[in-house]
Amino acid sequence: MAQQVAPSAQIECTPASSACDYAKHSYKAIVAQILMATLALLVTAANGMTSGFPALLLPQLEAENSTIPTTEEEGSWITSIHSIVTPIGSLMSGPIMEHLGRRTTLLVSIFPGIFGWICIALSKSHLALLIGRSLTGMSTGLSAPAALVLLGEMAEPRLRGLLAGAPSASFSMGILLIYALNSSLPWTLVAALSTILPLVALVSLFCLPESPLWLERVNKSDEALKAMTWLRGGSEAQARKELALIKEQQIHNRIIEEAHTSIGGRSRLLSRSVLRALLVVNVFNFFQVMGGTFTIIFYAVSVLRQASGGQVSDTNIAVVTALTRVLLTTIACFLLLKVGRRPLTISSGLGSGTAALILSWWLYWSPDFKGYDWVPSALVVIYVIFNSYGFFTIQALMIGELFPAKARGFSSGVSCAVINAVLFFTSKWYPWMTHVLQPHGLFLLFGLMTFAGTLFAYFFLPETKGRTLAEIEEHFSGSSLFWNNSRQIERRENLIVNGQ
């Protein structure tokens, strides 16, 4: 849209010394942003521990010597109650973020998580387990949108792929940690130890500044400048430049919102850019969840037992899948510095979808093959490899990057609520699906849903590498939601501007 060209051009006319000044502070800026990200990622790692806990908890509860004898139905409720409460926390997170800030929301979110783990550790009944899982679910719902938005807002475009994708790696690290602990320790002791990470995060977050973008939006300009200067390694000139761009974008957005409201009577939360971004994020996330990404996290041991027929060490392979996810999501964070979001997502979908379909075929046609008991487990690991570096990682990036600033808290909360509502369905009905669809039918569903998500990403997922949050917002305000059409229109406009 042409209105943005003039303000941006004015901002670019800054003294040449500004660029040199920031070059001197670039190293400090990178350290500051990584430090802030690391402390915020402690919260997402704690969320990973919460999500991965049932995978090895249920086999212990369902064992003959269990202190709390548990049926398959009761186990499904212990797993899924987390995803019932998480959407409530996610919907609450948006308004809290808008009124109190991103960092404050993270601080608030930690308390129910700590109380939840204590409740689980002291559990003597299913009711206590359900209450504890509900509290940790509330913590996840409150913290996930805030962490993703904070990381997306404080990072420079050159580092945003690395930092905004890092929650997937830290979430995976939390899963690996809980798998490793659960494989060798009683679940009550594991729950008690799980309070350590949230406590460290609670103390650490008091040392962080608030998001400069949020501070600017609530007219706390002096605090915004101070926070942005710290994040940019002490370069006040760079901080002023970025905040000026943010202010110009806010003015531009306000003019458009007022025009739309006067014409159509719609609120800013129902503007074209917000609704389009919500559509893209939530449709993709639906396919991602239905494609088995989180089912394998929640039910790792059960899934592997179904795939292998109990012929391999399910617990050890579950830990291998968690370790694989950590390695691949970490690699993906660095790949995102050089490679676009679209190539990683599309190749990830094609690879994991193919692995799921091959596994489905193998389970249907070759259940009696002798000497090849390792093949199903290997295919599950291959699925996790491909799924981790793209489909699993892109979810956090989409929430951190695609939503317009005017509704980022609201939109991220809604999206996390939708994700967890679908997660409740898949986690609660997993035992039923394994009986009705059988293992081969379950992996057939995973493969088909993954391919559907890949096709959707090909047509609608925008490439955000190297683009500012304002430029990404422009895409969703444009005339076409199809990515290829949008790029063709942009190229034609550039040719007209350049007089060609």
State how far the Cα of 76 lies from the Cα of 164, in Å rounded to an integer: 32
Check residue 91 and report its DSSP letter.
H
3-state secondary structure at position 120: helix
Sequence-distant (6+) residues with CB within 8 A of 96 are 104, 105, 108, 142, 146, 409
State how far the Cα of 242 lies from the Cα of 144, in Å rounded to an integer: 26
From residue 322, alpha-carbon distances to 116, 316, 381 in Å are 23, 10, 9
Is residue 17 included in any domain, yes or no?
no
Determine the straight-line distance between the first and last CA of the chain, rounded to whole angstroms.
Answer: 19
3-state secondary structure at position 136: helix
Is residue 291 included in any domain, yes or no?
yes
Q: Assign residue 294 the CATH number of its domain.
A: 1.20.1250.20
From residue 366, alpha-carbon distances to 326, 373, 376, 440, 473 in Å are 31, 10, 10, 11, 50
State how far the Cα of 212 lies from the Cα of 473, in Å rounded to an integer: 18
pTM over 0.75: no
Structure tokens at 61: 């509860």
Nearest to 224 by CA among 233, 235, 211, 236: 211
Beta strands in 77-176 (DSSP E): none
State how far the Cα of 93 lies from the Cα of 420, in Å rounded to an integer: 14
CB count within 10 Å of CB 453 equals: 29
Nearest to 256 by CA among 404, 74, 443, 424: 404
Domain count, the chain: 1
Is residue 171 included in any domain, yes or no?
yes
CB count within 10 Å of CB 172 equals: 28
Tokens 């991965």 -> residue: 52
Tokens 């510095």 -> residue: 337
State how far the Cα of 458 lies from the Cα of 484, in Å rounded to an integer: 9
State how far the Cα of 232 lies from the Cα of 247, in Å rounded to an integer: 18
Is residue 30 included in any domain, yes or no?
yes
Is residue 63 included in any domain, yes or no?
yes
Is residue 218 included in any domain, yes or no?
no
Give the domain range for residue 144: 24-212+243-497
Q: Are the beta carbons of 237 and 369 closer than 8 angstroms?
A: no
Is residue 272 included in any domain, yes or no?
yes
pLDDT in single tens digits along all 500 residues of the chain: 333 333 333 333 344 344 445 555 578 888 888 888 887 889 999 999 998 898 878 888 988 888 899 888 888 899 889 888 988 998 898 889 988 999 999 999 999 999 999 999 999 999 999 999 999 999 999 998 888 888 878 878 777 777 777 888 888 899 889 988 888 889 999 999 999 999 999 988 888 888 888 888 888 888 989 988 888 888 888 888 888 877 776 666 566 556 555 444 455 566 777 888 899 999 999 999 999 888 877 666 677 766 655 555 567 777 888 888 889 888 888 888 888 889 999 999 999 999 999 989 988 887 666 667 778 888 888 998 999 888 888 887 887 788 877 777 788 888 888 888 888 888 778 878 888 888 889 899 999 999 999 999 999 998 888 787 777 877 787 767 777 665 555 555 454 445 55
Helix axes 236-264, 221-231, angle to 10 degrees: 130
State how far the Cα of 152 lies from the Cα of 341, in Å rounded to an integer: 15
Please give the torsion angle defined by the CA atoms of residues 273, 451, 400 and 42, in that order, rounded to the nearest 10 degrees.
Answer: 160
Structure tokens at 257: 């919102």
Is residue 187 included in any domain, yes or no?
yes
